[in-house]
């Protein structure tokens, strides 16, 4: 073995004799030649017979890097993230072309959905925003309004896997996440565990009547929604992206149900209220569903394109004035704030959480990019405000006694902070 010493930092190494004369890179970043067993390194180009280490012309010694201000690496990344958030980014021609393709694809997807889903334009729009914004949606509506049909058609138009789970009081967490079973090898007679994936391993999952199942099953689904993974038998298994959950609740029949706590409702990006169709829309529903009409749903986007466009949403520019509007809107919903409106202190027990601010930003960015823009407007925030904040505001008894709904509170908030 030969002893080699770095003259830049003084660290010594023991290397094999056959490495004599070869270049060696020290941990500090400097590069030197390993000396020969006689003590002097072999002559090389530009090095002569000098035994001093040779550092590359472009190499910066590591000790200088260590002498930078003692700021944690995480703080630097936070500063960079804050800078990116506040300052408009430069968009390449390819990215601008992707926005144009997304707008065109959005129009085609809506056209495909309208082949079978009549009306519900706002519901379709918010569902699309939730998907491309990488959130999850809670659909509130009575049975028979086409919620399942909407989700199935959306999955078909996007070339994504779709599964539906009917939640019942006896549904267990393993019925959703999957379970391990013992399987015997017929050739050897050996037994081993085999994982059988549950319906949650899909791209779009319809959790029908989520309030019909016990809390532990609800929690298993909501954990997977947040973490985008499940743990079965001590093994973590990632869920394939994109992963989009649409859960439904029946607002008129609460007997024998397990209503989602407010903390779990907060996990949903949007709560979308599905209403009755108009007379003309209902007439068209009868014509389409009671005849031999069979719609031909054509895929518009594939999985890879959706993932690329979901990442592009985060880059959409948002101005300081729009950010301030979002903060004023969310903070004004909290009765604990000293400058909250009088009607908030009168009607609201708890206001929206910081997750509402996050979802307003992401929702507004998605609205902008679906409309073919790379800049958020205040109107984009207003479009998603009811879906984001409606289920995050908890009215008090006074509001319930006066018949004041959550949606009305959001309406008054928008007027107050406009």
Tell me, rounded to whole angstroms, the distance of Cα 227 from its chain centroid.
10
| Domain 314-418, second-level architecture | Orthogonal Bundle (1.10)
Same fold for the pair 1-57 and 96-308: no
Tell me, rounded to whole angstroms, the distance of Cα 309 from its chain centroid.
12
DSSP state of 60: P
Token code pair at residue 71 = 């700021």
Identify the pLDDT of residue 68: 38
In this structure, what is the dihedral angle of CA atoms 326, 332, 333, 335, given to the nearest 10 degrees?
A: 160
pTM summary value = 0.74
Identify the pLDDT of residue 192: 83
- Euclidean distance between CA atoms 109 and 309, whole angstroms: 15
Count Cα neighbours of 99 within 13 Å in the Cβ-side half-sphere. Answer: 21
- Euclidean distance between CA atoms 19 and 33, whole angstroms: 9
Fold of the CATH domain 1-57: Rubrerythrin, domain 2 (2.20.28)
Q: Is 387 exposed, middle or buried (0-12, 13-18, 19+ CB in 10 A)?
A: buried
pLDDT (tens digit per residue) in 187-246 = 887 888 888 888 999 999 999 888 888 888 888 888 888 888 888 877 888 898 889 999
Tell me, rounded to whole angstroms, the distance of Cα 132 from its chain centroid.
9
Of 185, 306, 195, residue with least CA distance to 240:
306
Phi, psi of 96 (to 5 degrees): -65, -35
Peptide bond into 242 cis (omega under 30): yes
| Superfamily name and number for 96-308 | P-loop containing nucleotide triphosphate hydrolases (3.40.50.300)
Tens place of pLDDT for every residue, the chain, 418 residues? 677 777 766 777 777 777 777 776 676 666 767 777 655 444 333 333 343 444 333 333 333 333 333 434 444 466 666 665 656 667 778 888 888 888 888 888 888 888 888 888 888 899 999 999 999 999 988 877 788 888 888 888 888 888 999 998 899 988 998 888 888 878 887 888 888 888 999 999 999 888 888 888 888 888 888 888 888 877 888 898 889 999 988 777 666 678 787 878 888 999 998 888 889 888 888 888 888 777 778 888 888 888 888 888 888 889 889 999 999 999 999 988 888 899 999 999 998 989 999 999 999 999 999 988 889 999 999 999 999 999 999 999 998 899 899 999 999 999 998 7
Q: Where are the domains of the chain?
A: 1-57, 96-308, 314-418
Strand positions, DSSP E, 12-101: 12-15, 23-25, 31-33
Three-state SS for 416?
A: helix
235-238 and 229-232 as β-strands: parallel, antiparallel, unpaired? antiparallel
Give ∠ CA 44-50-55 in degrees, rounded to 5: 70
- Which residues make beta-bridge pairs with 395? 348
């Amino acid at each position: 073995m030969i002893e080699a010493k770095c003259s830049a930092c003084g660290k010594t190494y023991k290397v094999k004799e056959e490495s004599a004369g070869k270049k060696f890179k020290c941990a500090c970043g400097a590069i030197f030649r390993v000396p020969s067993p006689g003590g002097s390194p072999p002559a090389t180009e530009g090095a002569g017979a000098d035994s001093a280490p040779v550092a590359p012309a472009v190499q910066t010694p590591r000790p200088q890097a260590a002498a930078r201000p003692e700021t944690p690496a995480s703080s630097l990344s936070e500063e960079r993230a804050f800078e990116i958030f506040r300052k408009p980014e430069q968009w390449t021609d390819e990215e601008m072309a992707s926005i144009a393709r997304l707008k065109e694809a959005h129009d085609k997807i809506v056209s495909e959905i309208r082949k079978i889903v009549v009306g519900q334009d706002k519901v379709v729009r918010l569902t699309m925003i939730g998907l491309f914004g990488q959130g999850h949606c809670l659909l509130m509506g009575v049975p028979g309004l086409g919620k399942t049909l909407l989700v199935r058609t959306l999955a078909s138009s996007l070339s994504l896997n779709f599964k539906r789970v009917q939640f019942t009081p006896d549904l267990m967490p393993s019925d959703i996440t999957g379970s391990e079973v013992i399987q015997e090898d017929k050739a050897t007679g050996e037994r081993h565990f085999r994982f059988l994936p549950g319906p949650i391993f899909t791209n779009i999952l319809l959790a029908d009547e989520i309030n019909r199942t016990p809390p532990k099953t609800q929690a298993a689904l909501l954990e997977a929604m947040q973490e985008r993974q499940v743990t079965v038998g001590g093994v973590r298994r990632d869920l394939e992206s994109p992963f989009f959950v649409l859960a439904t609740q029946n607002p008129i029949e609460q007997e024998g149900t397990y209503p989602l706590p407010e903390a779990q409702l907060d996990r949903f990006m949007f709560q979308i209220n599905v209403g009755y169709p108009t007379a003309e829309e209902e007439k068209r529903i009868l014509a389409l569903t009671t005849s031999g009409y069979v719609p031909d749903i054509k895929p518009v986007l594939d999985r890879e394109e959706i993932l690329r466009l979901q990442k592009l949403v985060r880059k959409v520019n948002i101005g300081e004035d729009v950010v301030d509007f979002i903060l004023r809107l969310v903070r004004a919903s909290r009765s604990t704030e000293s400058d909250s409106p009088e009607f908030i202190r009168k009607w609201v027990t708890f206001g929206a959480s910081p997750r509402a601010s996050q979802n307003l930003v992401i929702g507004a960015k998605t609205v902008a990019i679906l409309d073919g823009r790379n800049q958020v407007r205040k109107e984009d925030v207003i479009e998603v405000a009811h879906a984001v904040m409606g289920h995050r505001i908890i009215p008090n008894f006074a509001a319930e006694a006066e018949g004041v709904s959550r949606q009305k509170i959001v309406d008054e908030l928008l007027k107050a902070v406009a």
